[in-house]
């Protein structure tokens, strides 16, 4: 990495590097699939945007659909890895919920590609996720953390006992995913940009409020 041939700019026939070629294809493919969907993305265009050729896509990934699945796998495992770093166990349950919501909020805002891939995959009835061994059996650290937070909140009597972790996760996801995924139609129809930086703090606090009020409601 430190030693570099003097006369080898980005355009030169890059030195052979299987890993770099592979990951470059994957990165370009992620952008293209996220931008245009599976059917809308073009193998030729993905190839053109890399420093290699179309043949390499078939060499490394086998075909368009396998490449798309590889993109999905990378995107999902990236998120799971991030979720695993979450450490909210030591916090007060209410504060832990707020931080978990904020974390999801921040993540979805800063990874629009991932949100778009999820939308696209839903259009396809999640059949590629089902086909992938890696994705079909992927654990969900966020849900585990949520389960433990709820347990502690219930123990102190602050949280309702009749709320399932999966429903809390759903509330948070729905809000954060919708804000990113439906940004364009919402803006086209209501002239209201949910991702306007000036409204960011408002929405970031709002989702925490919503979830906590639901969890602490008396009934």
Partner DNA sequence: CAATGTATGTACTAGTTAGTTAGTTATACT
Partner DNA sequence: AGTATAACTAACTAACTAGTACATACATTG
Spatial separation of the C-alpha atoms in residues 125 and 122, rounded to whole Å? 5
Q: Which one of the spans 5-13, 89-97, 146-154, 180-188 is the region binding a copy of itself (CB under 8 A)?
A: 180-188
Q: At what angle do helices 197-216 and 165-181 cross, to 10 degrees?
A: 160
CA torsion 34-79-136-96 (nearest 10°) is -130
Instruction: Tell me: does residue 166 bind a copy of itself (CB under 8 A).
Output: yes
Rg (CA), the chain: 21
Q: What are phi and psi of 72, to 5 degrees?
A: -60, -45
Spatial separation of the C-alpha atoms in residues 213 and 178, rounded to whole Å? 20
Residues in the chain: 219
Q: How far is the CB of 5 from DNA (least distance, A)?
A: 10
For the window 22-61, what string marks contact with a copy of itself as x by the rule CB under 8 A? --------------xxxxx---------------------
Q: How far is the CB of 184 from DNA (least distance, A)?
A: 22
Residue 24: strand, helix, or coil? helix
Long-range CB contacts (within 8 A, 24+) of 123-129 = 123/37, 124/38, 128/65, 128/68, 128/69, 128/72, 129/72
For the window 2-41, what string marks contact with DNA as x by the rule CB under 7 A? -----------xxxxxx-xx-------------------x
| Residue 173 partner contact from DNA, a copy of itself, none using kind-dependent CB cut-offs of 5 to 8 Å | a copy of itself
Site residue total, DNA (CB under 7 A): 23
Residues forming the site for DNA (CB under 7 A) = 13-18, 20-21, 41-44, 51-56, 58-59, 63-65
Q: Which residues bind a copy of itself (CB under 8 A)?
A: 36-40, 116, 118-126, 129-130, 135-136, 138, 140, 143, 166-167, 169-171, 173-175, 177-179, 181-190, 192, 194, 206, 209-210, 213-214, 217
């Amino acid at each position: 990495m430190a030693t570099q041939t003097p006369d080898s700019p980005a355009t030169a026939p890059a030195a052979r590097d299987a890993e770099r070629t592979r990951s470059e294809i994957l990165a370009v493919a992620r952008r293209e699939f996220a931008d245009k969907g599976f059917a809308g993305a073009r193998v030729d265009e993905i190839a053109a945007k890399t420093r290699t050729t179309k043949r390499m896509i078939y060499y490394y990934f086998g075909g368009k659909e396998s490449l798309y699945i590889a993109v999905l796998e990378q995107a999902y495992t990236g998120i799971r890895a991030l979720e695993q770093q979450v450490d909210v166990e030591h916090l007060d349950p209410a504060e832990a919920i707020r931080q978990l919501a904020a974390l999801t909020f921040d993540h979805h805002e800063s990874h629009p590609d991932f949100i778009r891939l999820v939308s696209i995959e839903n259009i396809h009835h999640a059949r590629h996720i089902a086909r992938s061994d890696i994705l079909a059996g992927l654990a969900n650290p966020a849900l585990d953390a949520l389960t433990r937070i709820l347990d502690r909140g219930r123990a102190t009597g602050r949280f309702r006992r009749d709320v399932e972790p999966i429903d809390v996760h759903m509330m948070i996801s729905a809000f954060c995913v919708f804000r990113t995924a439906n940004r364009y139609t919402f803006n086209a129809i209501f002239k209201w940009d949910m991702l306007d930086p000036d409204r960011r703090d408002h929405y970031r606090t709002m989702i925490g409020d919503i979830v906590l009020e639901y969890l602490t409601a008396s009934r």
